[in-house]
Amino acid sequence: MDSTLFIVIYILGGIAIGYVVSTFLVKKSRQKVISEAESQAEIIVKEAKLNADSIKKDRIHEAKEKYLKLKSEFEDESNRKKNQIINNENKVKQREKDVSKQIEQYKRKEAELESQKENLEAQMQIVKQRKSDLEKARQEQTKALEKISGLSAEEAITQLKETLKDEARSKASSHIKDIIDEAKLTATKEAKKIVIQTIQRTATEHAIENCVSIFNIESDDIKGKIIGREGRNIRALESATGVEIIVDDTPEAIIISGFDPVRREVARLSLHRLVSDGRIHPARIEEIVSKTTKNIEEEIVEIGERTVIDLGIHGLHPELIKMVGRMRFRSSYGQNLLQHSREVAKLCATLASELGLNAKLAKRAGLLHDIGKVWPEEPEQPHAILGMELAKKYKEHPDVCNAIGAHHDEIEMTAMISPLIQTCDAISGSRPGARREIMESYIKRLKDLENLALNFDGVHKCYAIQAGRELRVLVDSENVSDQEANDLAFNISAKIESDMQYPGQIKVTVIREMRAVGYAK
């Protein structure tokens, strides 16, 4: 019993000692973990503070660099604008100096003219005095001659007239006989010339033309599609074709305005295809205009081939055939150039047959006589001379070349068909109407306006619209910046003012369009 109690007490004491020891060990282990965690937390906090300081310094450094960069860019931009303003002020001052110099020159010229006027009046007085002295001397000589001859001045004049009449009759009779003899030898040739000259005396000018085409639509709802959101479709169409599209209150009609018939036809056909297709947006517009332009080129060749076949002209060079097709879209003082040339060719063949000349050569020359008007490069020489050079280049008959070059008397006529071409050209233009040169000079002014802008660097396309009151210039966005576009508009305006004559004012619009293209594969 005592041993059992002792064992129980021993066990209970062991348990108590174990509990105390285990509690102490657990507490000590927990304190160790806590101290380690606290030390790690202190390390992490220190590292975080170091990283935060480093990041803060980097951000401050980056902010300073960005500030300095923006400041530098702002100063550069300010200096550039300041330099531009200074340059513009210098230009204005230079213009004022030029104007002042011109005014001074005009004043000097005016003074010189006044001085010359006074000298001229003095010289006129001297001339009048000398004339009066000469008249007195003549009267005195006449009186002296009358006294010597015993005849008055009127009687002497009458006798002299009678003597001269007799001599003139004698010489005229001899001369008429010689002319008649010569005429008998060359009767056929002279008769041909007389017939041609007679026709030439009866020819007059004619014709009118306009610069618009009408595109009919089924309903006015289509006008909204053609205009597009904020006008983007109509702007894309005008930029691609170079014409002005006028959408107004005219029912079921759209007006296409432009001085170039080919551009108007391209715009008309493109509108027709777009309306038929129903898909109208800038990308589709450019695609349709490109296809239509190619189709027009093919149609030009077909028109030329059909024309030469209808007229029975063979062996014509392909380039000349293409130029004949271009005549379909060109007007000469209001007449369609192709119809005019066909008519001249037929008239030349008929008259050549009547006069016993080569009808085939005459017809060929009649068709080609205005070929110089459709040469696209617009050289600085008359269209007759250019047409003659083109005919020589493509190895046409020398008589044909001479007839083309001489139909406006730019060169001497050496072939018998040459006056024939001139005559038939006038006959074709002699139908009732009012043939004016105003239209030709107007078109030439618009072409000169476009060519002037195309001579500037970076200009991609150029269109004169609104009867020459606006010039739209399309530039390459890769080569021309926004600022350079502003400078280009100013330079083109200054060039137009200095080099051209025009009514009113011309608005120069420079369009710089940026396009980004990507492909998904």
How much of the chain, in percent, has pLDDT values that exceed 70? 82
- If asked whether residues 303 and 421 sit together in one domain, one would say yes
Residue 30 lies in a domain: yes
Higher pLDDT, 442 or 370: 370
State residue 61's pLDDT score.
85
Q: What is the rounded average pLDDT of the residues 455-477?
A: 82
In this predicted structure, what is the pLDDT of residue 58? 84
**CATH classification at residue 460:** 3.30.300.30
In a domain, 494, yes or no: yes
**Which pLDDT score is estimated for 468?**
75
Q: Tens digits of per-residue pLDDT, 468-491? A: 778 888 888 788 888 888 888 888
Question: Can you give the pLDDT at residue 201?
Answer: 42
- Least confident range from 205-214, 457-466, 471-480, 484-493: namely 205-214
Residue 425 has pLDDT above 60, yes or no: yes
Rounded percentage of the chain residues whose pLDDT exceeds 90: 1
3-state secondary structure of 304: helix
**Any domain includes 89:** no
Return the top range by mean pLDDT from 22-31, 140-149, 400-409.
Answer: 400-409
Residue 178 lies in a domain: no
- Provide the pairing of β-strand 507-512 with 470-475: parallel
Q: Quick check: 176 pLDDT over 80?
A: no
Q: Identify the band that residue 4 occupies on the pLDDT scale cut at 50, 70 and 90.
A: confident
In this model, does residue 1 exceed pLDDT 80? Answer: no
- Structural domain ending residue among the three candidates 421, 436, 451: 436
pTM: 0.45
Q: Are residues 449 and 350 in the same domain?
A: no
Contacts 24+ apart (CB under 8 A), 263-266: 264/211, 264/212, 264/213, 265/213, 265/296, 265/329, 266/241, 266/292, 266/293, 266/296
pLDDT at residue 182 greater than cutoff 80: no
Domain residue limits at 411: 212-436
Indicate the average pLDDT of the chain.
79
One domain for residues 450 and 358: no
110 found inside a domain: no
Say if residue 383's pLDDT is above 80: yes
Tell me, yes or no, whether 340 lies in a domain. Answer: yes
Tens of pLDDT, residues 301-339: 888 888 888 888 888 888 888 888 888 877 766 667 888
Between 24-38, 51-65, 233-247, 437-451, the lowest mean confidence (pLDDT) is in 437-451
Boundary-marking domain end, from 436, 466, 494: 436
Is the pLDDT reported for residue 138 higher than 80? no
Let me know if 348 is exposed, middle or buried by CB neighbors in 10 A (0-12, 13-18, 19+). Answer: buried
The per-residue pLDDT for range 238-275, each reduced to its tens digit, is 888 878 878 777 777 788 887 777 788 888 888 888 88
Assign residue 481 a region (left: φ > 0; alpha: ψ between -120 and 50; beta: otherwise): beta
Q: What pLDDT sits at residue 434? A: 32
Q: What pLDDT does 208 receive?
A: 38
Stretch 279-300: mean pLDDT = 85
The answer to whether 480 and 512 have CB atoms below 8 angstroms apart is yes
What CATH number has the domain bearing residue 271? 1.10.3210
pLDDT at 42 over 60: yes
Residues 378 and 266 in one domain: yes
3-state secondary structure 158-218: HHHHHHHHHHHHHHHHHHHHHHHHHHHHCHHHHHHHHHHHHHHHCCCCCCCCCCEEEEECC
Residues 473 and 398 in one domain: no
Judged against a pLDDT cut of 80, whether residue 179 lies above it is answered with no
Contact 375, 390 (CB under 8 A): yes
With a cut of 80, say whether residue 185 has pLDDT above it. Answer: no
The answer on 231 and 333 residing in a single domain is yes
Q: Confidence class of residue 203 from pLDDT cuts 50, 70 and 90? A: very low
Decide if 124 is inside a domain: no
Q: Are residues 272 and 354 in the same domain?
A: yes
Q: Are residues 246 and 383 in the same domain?
A: yes
Mark which of 41, 68, 95 sits at the end of a domain.
68
Q: Residues 415, 351: one domain?
A: yes
Per the CB < 8 A criterion, the answer to whether 423 and 407 are in contact is: no
**Number of domains present in the structure of the chain:** 3
Say if residue 310 is in the same domain as residue 375.
yes
pLDDT digits over 9-39, tens only?
Answer: 778 777 878 777 778 777 777 788 788 888 8
Mean pLDDT of 210-216: 70
Same domain, 508 and 407: no
Of 441, 460, 448, 440, whose CA–CA distance to 495 is shortest? 448
Assess if residue 187 is contained within a domain: no
| 511 burial type by CB count under 10 A (0-12 exposed, 13-18 middle, 19+ buried) | middle
Q: What is the pLDDT of residue 267?
A: 84
pLDDT at 211: 67
Q: Give the three-class secondary structure for 474.
A: strand
Residues 380 and 355 in one domain: yes
Rounded to whole angstroms, the Cα distance separating 452 from 474 reads 14
